[in-house]
Amino acid sequence: MKTTVSATINGVAQTFEVEPRTSLADVLREQMRLTATHLGCEHGVCGACTVLIDGQPARSCIALAVTLDGAAITTLEGLADDPLMQTLKASFHDQHGLQCGFCTPGMLMSGWDLLKRKPDIQGQDIRVAMSGNLCRCTGYQGIVRSIEKAAQTAKGQVSQTKGAAA
């Protein structure tokens, strides 16, 4: 039996029908055509499907859509105009933070959340904080460097903005 769920997705009110077993990832990809959210393991291990649910990073492959009535969901598409996300994407490009790119949307969502919470994070702490996101290609060196550089760039942007406001 299908259930009607209403949620805000990337700032837009949406209503959709789901089976009790339907994951949020399947709603996003198949009903909303928001295909930046990737599916890797489909059992909560790899982090490729990471989105924000009510502002918190979550695995959309194991979030049952039926439980999300009234929730606010943000995918990578929803952060396209966000300055920190733009900085992070540029850094992944410049620092070779991807090879096949399959893990990249989840890396960007988790990295963005990390930089929001800990803007000064560097080195080994990034490795620990990002350990819930798996990459099969890069050996993580480029990913860690990308997040480090994005943190430094974002900090410079904030201090420039403060300087301009003074």
| Residues of this chain that bind ligand FES (CB under 6 A) | 39-42, 44-49, 59, 61, 98-103, 135-138
Residue placing its CB nearer to ligand FES in the complex, 10 or 110:
110
For the residues of 91-107, what is the DSSP string, one character each?
HHHHTT--SS-SSHHHH
Least distance in angstroms from the C-beta of 166 to ligand FES: 41
Taking the least distance from each CB to ligand FES, the nearer of 31 and 119 is 31
Q: Minimum distance from CB of 43 to ligand FES (Å)?
A: 7
Whether residue 27 contacts residue 18, with contact meaning beta carbons closer than 8 Å, is answered with yes
In the complex, minimum distance from the CB of residue 135 to ligand FES, in angstroms, rounded to a whole number = 3
Instruction: Compare residues 127 and 155 and give the one whose CB is closer to ligand FES.
Output: 127
Q: Quick count: other Cβ atoms within 10 Å of Cβ 122?
A: 12
What are 79-82's contacts with CB under 8 Å, separation 24+? 79/109, 79/112, 82/112
Of the pair 64, 119, the CB lying nearest ligand FES is at: 64
> In the sheet that 12-18 helps form, which strands lie side by side, from edge to edge?
12-18, 3-9, 72-74, 50-53, 56-59
Q: What minimum distance in Å lies between the beta carbon of 45 and ligand FES?
A: 5
